[in-house]
Amino acid sequence: MKSSYIPFLQCYRLLCVVLCAGLSVMPAVQAELNSEPRTKPMQMPSFKISYVPPNVGAPTRRVGAGTRGKVCNEANMISESFKIVALGPVMTGYTLSAQPVLYWSINQAVQGDFIFTINPLSSDAEAFSLYEPLLDETRQLSLQAGIHAFKLSDYAIELKTKQEYEWSVTLVCDNKMPSLNLSATGSIQRIAPSQGLLAQIKSTSEQQQPYLYARSGIWYEALQSLSQLIENVPDSRQLKKIRHNLLQQEKLDLPIHY
């Protein structure tokens, strides 16, 4: 009867070789796994975003405001360089939404009463509004310098298509003398999107949508989609640069950190 000791010894040696080889490979594999990112960072195509204004032939609608005398300075404790800016394009801006988000900015912290209005405009480009206000809301706010949002979805109002509106933000300086108040205005018009544009929006990622809206002449959605991305990633300098680039194209030169 032959001894089984030698085959057993050979198997034992083979097993040791395999285990040693495996142990030597594992650190390299683990290092490679650790070097791969767990999640891919959000990628934006470019800092440059191109807004193509619609060819509406409308006159300039946007009006900004600075301080007027010392009344507002004393009442609201702001300096003479205080400004409210309506973040709309120079010409009437388009939206696809019945309840869009309107953006505006202030360059200093302030506490006071703000009046928000939305007025339908007549078809005569030179005439003032001949309709009842769609919205006239006063809110007491304490705000930091920067960009702020006014959401129409907070109110039971909707914009109609083929109707131009003027919207305004006013800081109340003197209740008895409205002419001393500080206002900034913009204009907006809701349009019905084409089927082609709807299909493009549906197939476009959230990161790409600001570019699609901008080149399609849809200002308010371009700004809103960018601002929403910034809300989701508030420390993103890249996103803020893209928004800054968009605003600059319509002569809205705000600090880049807003």
Q: What is the pLDDT of residues 82-98, one digit of tens each?
A: 999 999 999 999 999 99
Among 103, 90, 97, which residue's Cα sits nearest to residue 58? 90
Residues in the chain, total: 258
The rounded distance, in Å, linking the Cα atoms of 217 and 245 is 15
At 163-207, the pLDDT tens digits run 999 999 999 998 888 888 999 999 999 999 999 999 999 999 999
Look at residue 128 in the predicted model and tell me its pLDDT: 52
Q: 168 with 132: CB under 8 angstroms?
A: no
Of 86, 63, 135, 145, which is closest to residue 111 (Cα–Cα)? 145
Tell me what pLDDT residue 26 has: 36
Q: Indicate the class that CATH gives domain 65-248.
A: mainly beta
Q: Write the CB contacts of 38 (distance below 8 Å, at least 6 apart in sequence).
A: none
Domain boundaries, the chain: 65-248
The alpha carbon of residue 42 and the mean position of all alpha carbons in its chain are separated, in whole angstroms, by 16
Give the sign of the dihedral formed by CA 24, CA 25, CA 26, CA 27.
Answer: positive
This prediction has a pTM of: 0.78
Q: Which pLDDT tens digit goes with each residue over 212-256?
A: 999 999 999 999 999 999 999 999 999 999 999 999 999 998 988
Q: What is the pLDDT of residue 142?
A: 95
